[in-house]
Amino acid sequence: MLDVALQTKVAKIPITPRIIPRSGHIISRANIDERALKVLYRLNNAGFQAFLVGGSVRDLLLGREPKDFDVATDALPEQVRELFRNCRLIGRRFRLAHVHFGRDIIEVATFRGADAAEEDGRVLTEDGRILRDNVYGNIDNDAWRRDFTVNALYYNIEDFSVVDYVGGMDDIKAGQIRVVGNTQQRFREDPVRMLRAVRFAVKLGFSIHPQTATPIFELAPLLSEIPPARLFEEILKLFLGGCAVQTFEQLRHYGLFGQLFPQVEVCLSEEEGGFPHMFLARALQNTDRRIAEGKPVTPAFLISALLWDPMRRLADEHRAHELSPAEADQLASDTVISQQISRIAMPRRYTQMTREIWALQPRLTRRVGGTPFRLLSHPRFRAAYDFLVLRAEAGEEVTELAEWWTEFQSAKEARRGELISAASKTVPGKRRRRRR
């Protein structure tokens, strides 16, 4: 236990949390993953404390189905490993135990200390960002290390109560995202929390408490310190979580979007006639619809759409400097992608697919001889065609072309021949975008 003097120095930790008994909340074991229950019970039977924590408690309290079930305990990672045969210890920044059940994992975290900046095990950067964090504590201080109050609730397997140190229960009821502790300090420690605030607010339909929201406008530039690989993970959660349109609008509102996609932000801020915004909104709507329908979505399509306008603009500039269209496109793709991956580390398989989707756009205009048949069997044809449809929907002058490909794909052999000869008569126009 921390001594009382330290407790007052740090965040005024209340000694007694609010305990909501089983009769006072809606969490039922019937809604908890069996494997999570197994982990909780085994820890508890071995004499350790064991709680469900984080997103699963929050989602269960909201009557939503949790995505994953995280466990918090006073057992040390090594002690957890001794209890489970199927357990691996992972992580550097946070050391965690992963208990494996086939392809599923229950994550077990040992309680962390409340304010251990000067202790061994916690490493901060000069500006207060956490680099490594392996100071163990107890539930009293673990709660204060969580990002938002609604993420800092604990479900106790011993008596099925919910333990609330930070007012999370009230914020769940009020539908608001609020940072635990001092907002400025917590955002400085880990600027990704600003992205998480937006993500949770959109996903849960919550508002961001003014005290949490206001500092974001000023602190957004701190995102530049986050390693590009971590940002990629966050981007996937932000844009492939089913609410990409709203997330995009919110990220822009708080000035966070420009930190992630600076080249896109430039185009958006200089936009004429609403083109890039309209195009992106369409692309994100498509993504959300596909996710709602349970269809697969690839990050590559999203990247292609996000960076399309910066790439086109740069290609236009290169053409004005006498490069051939193909060279201009190629150079623009390379430049835009390499600038973007210096901010967000997108794996090569995705950037490669983005290049292919883009490179296929002009090729889709060549509707002569055997070319359309060859394009049809190109491994990226489907993605490139979807991208073409998106461009048409967003007001680019490719509607006729997109409709042609729609018909060509489903047409019988004879009709395909007719389509090709009809298309050969129309000279492919210059690919100029109409800005509407």
User: Is-catalytic flag, 133?
Assistant: no
Residue 262 burial (10 A CB sphere; 0-12, 13-18, 19+): middle
* Cα separation, 139 vs 144, whole angstroms: 9
Comparison of 146 and 188: residue with beta carbon closer to ligand ATP: 146
Comparison of 54 and 276: residue with beta carbon closer to ligand ATP: 54
Of these residues, 59, 70, 115, 309, which one is catalytic?
A: 70
Smallest distance from ligand ATP to CB 238, Å: 10
Task: Quickly count: other Cβ atoms within 10 Å of residue 233's Cβ.
Answer: 12
Q: Across-strand partners of 112?
A: 136
Contacts of 10 (CB under 8 A, 6+ apart): 2, 114, 115, 141, 144
In the list 68, 170, 234, 397, the residue contacting Mg ion (rule: CB under 5 A) is 68
Q: Which residue is nearest to Mg ion (CB)?
A: 55
In the list 17, 55, 181, 258, the residue contacting Mg ion (rule: CB under 5 A) is 55
Task: Please report the sign of the dihedral spanned by the C-alpha atoms of residue 47, residue 24, residue 163, residue 175.
Answer: positive
Smallest distance from Mg ion to CB 338, Å: 33
Task: Please report the sign of the dihedral spanned by the C-alpha atoms of residue 282, residue 283, residue 289, residue 290.
Answer: positive
Smallest distance from Mg ion to CB 69, Å: 8
**Window 292-331: contact mask with Mg ion (x via CB under 5 A):** ----------------------------------------
Comparison of 192 and 223: residue with beta carbon closer to ligand ATP: 192
Question: How are the residues of the chain apportioned to helix, strand and coil, as percentages rounded to the nearest 5?
Answer: 55, 10, 35
User: Is residue 306 helix, strand or coil?
Assistant: helix
User: Is-catalytic flag, 74?
Assistant: no
Comparison of 174 and 326: residue with beta carbon closer to ligand ATP: 174
**Site residues, ligand ATP (CB under 6 A):** 54-55, 67-68, 70, 146-147, 151-152, 190, 192-193
Binding site partner of 25, from ligand ATP, Mg ion, none, Cβ cut-off 5-8 A by kind: none
Smallest distance from ligand ATP to CB 306, Å: 21
Q: Tell me which residue of 167, 222, 172 sits closest to 194, measured CA to CA.
A: 222
* Cα separation, 328 vs 371, whole angstroms: 22
Interface with Mg ion (CB under 5 A):
55, 68
Catalytic residue set: 68, 70, 147
